[in-house]
Amino acid sequence: MDKIPILKMGDYLLVTIQVDLYDRLALNLESDLVNMINKHSSKGVLIDISAVNIVDSFMGRILGNIAQMSKILDAHTVVVGMQPAVAITLIELGLPLSGVHTALNVEKGMTLLQEKLFLDSTVIADDTDDNT
Amino acid sequence: MITLNKETIAIKREQDVVFFRNRVNEYAEKIKMGLVNKTKLLTAASELVRNMLIYAKEGKVICEIVTISALQTGIRLTFIDNGPGIADIDKAMTDGYTTGKSLGLGLPGAKRLVNIFDVKTVKGKGTTISITKWKNG
Ligand SMILES: Nc1ncnc2c1ncn2[C@@H]1O[C@H](COP(=O)(O)OP(=O)(O)OP(=O)(O)O)[C@@H](O)[C@H]1O
Ligand SMILES: [Mg+2]
């Protein structure tokens, strides 16, 4: 059984999808990621899809699910490296990648995650200020 | 329309989908279809082959390289199943209509991604959907 590896880097999880996903593989990735976020209390998930040639409605839905579930578990998801042809196709297909943050590459995605984490921490700090 | 090359691929389980998509990719490269058009064709094909597996359990796809003139070459994929047929094809072709718990994007989305989209469906007998994508345009 194929498996997509998930790398843990400190507070983040990094997934690089190197093969074209078929449905079961994508579903396994979804549940593996949720388990890992939970286990490590991860703060962010970075999914690199630069090697992916097809994102159809099923794959799009899986990406949306991952983003939504990680949000519930208090983590942000950023999808990076979407090929322009894939992005154009997704729009014509009519798939709204709602709730999914995107960035051009892994480096920019990491910066985005760090900014989001920083924002989260300042919001918490503001809350405590209000209480005093 | 003249067929230059023809092959039938059986679709019985999910693993067949990977093989099928690779074949379509090879066909597209053979006629030097542009990347965006190829991606659209592969995505539409992916939607239709999934519908086939979900709603009809199995079927087959005829892959052809077709031409209408020296200038226009493309790929035609014909998805044939003996499943339950589509009860209301007009509804099924609208965005958001699904009999499952899905988004109902597959059929209307696939239609937007190709140049020619043709459905024939008979209730209780099966569904045949043919799509054509030109190399250019
Ligand atoms: N090959 C088929 N045989 C029988 N019914 C079909 C077939 N393909 C599609 N349908 C019917 O048409 C409906 C619409 O299909 P469509 O692909 O647009 O949406 P979906 O599969 O329900 O959702 P999505 O593709 O967005 O996941 C389906 O819900 C199903 O009832
Ligand atoms: Mg569908």
The confidence band for A127, taking pLDDT boundaries of 50, 70 and 90, is: low
Domain boundaries, chain B: 2-134
Residue A8: strand, helix, or coil: strand
B91 Cβ contact partners less than 8 Å away, ≥ 6 residues apart: B97
**DSSP output for chain B:** -EEEEEEEEEE-SHHHHHHHHHHHHHHHHHTT--HHHHHHHHHHHHHHHHHHHHHSS-EEEEEEEEESSSS-EEEEEEEEE-S---S-HHHHTSTT--SSSS-S-HHHHHHHHSSEEEEEEETTTEEEEEEEEES--
The reported pLDDT for the residue numbered A129 is 56
A63 Cβ contact partners less than 8 Å away, ≥ 6 residues apart: A47, A55, A79, A97, A100
Average pLDDT over residues A5-29: 90
Name the architecture of domain B2-134: 2-Layer Sandwich (3.30)
How far is residue A46's CA from residue A80's CA, in Å, rounded to a whole number?
7
Task: Select the highest-mean-pLDDT range: A69-73, B16-20, B38-42.
Answer: B38-42
The more confident residue out of B63 and A126 is B63
User: Is any atom of ligand 1 closer than 6 Å to the C-beta of B104?
Assistant: yes
Q: How many whole angstroms from B105 Cα to the centroid of ligand 1? A: 8
The reported pLDDT for the residue numbered A19 is 81
Comparing CB atoms, the residue among A23, A61, A92 nearest residue B40 is A92
How far is residue B128's CA from residue A59's CA, in Å, rounded to a whole number?
24
Residues of chain B with pLDDT > 70: what percent?
100
Query: Candidates B46, B98, B111: which one to mutate for ligand 1, based on the most atoms within 8 Å of Cβ?
Result: B98
The confidence band for A131, taking pLDDT boundaries of 50, 70 and 90, is: low
Please identify, in words, the CATH class of the domain defined by A6-131: alpha beta
The confidence band for B35, taking pLDDT boundaries of 50, 70 and 90, is: very high
Average pLDDT over residues B60-71: 94
The reported pLDDT for the residue numbered B100 is 84
pLDDT at B96 over 70: yes
Asked if A6 contacts A33 with a C-beta cutoff of 8 angstroms, the reply is yes
The reported pLDDT for the residue numbered A117 is 87
The reported pLDDT for the residue numbered B125 is 96
How far is residue B89's CA from residue A117's CA, in Å, rounded to a whole number?
47
How far is residue B63's CA from residue B130's CA, in Å, rounded to a whole number?
10
Average pLDDT over residues A54-83: 93
How far is residue B65's CA from residue A107's CA, in Å, rounded to a whole number?
41
B38 contacts on A by Cβ (under 8 Å): 85
Residues of chain A with pLDDT > 70: what percent?
92
pLDDT at A95 over 80: yes
Q: How many whole angstroms from B30 Cα to the centroid of ligand 2? A: 28
> Tokens 């794959």 label which residue?
A59
The CA R_g of chain B, rounded to the nearest whole Å, is 14
Average pLDDT over residues B90-115: 93
Average pLDDT over residues B65-89: 95
Distance from CA of A22 to the nearest CA of B (A): 7
How far is residue A92's CA from residue B110's CA, in Å, rounded to a whole number?
9
Average pLDDT over residues B83-105: 92
Asked if B9 contacts B19 with a C-beta cutoff of 8 angstroms, the reply is yes
The helix or strand, by DSSP H or E, that contains position A102, with its residue range, turns out to be strand A101-103
Q: Do B105 and A93 touch (CB under 8 A)?
A: yes
| Local structure of residue A20 (DSSP, 8 states) | P
Domain boundaries, chain A: 6-131
A8-12, A25-29, A31-35: lowest mean pLDDT where?
Answer: A25-29
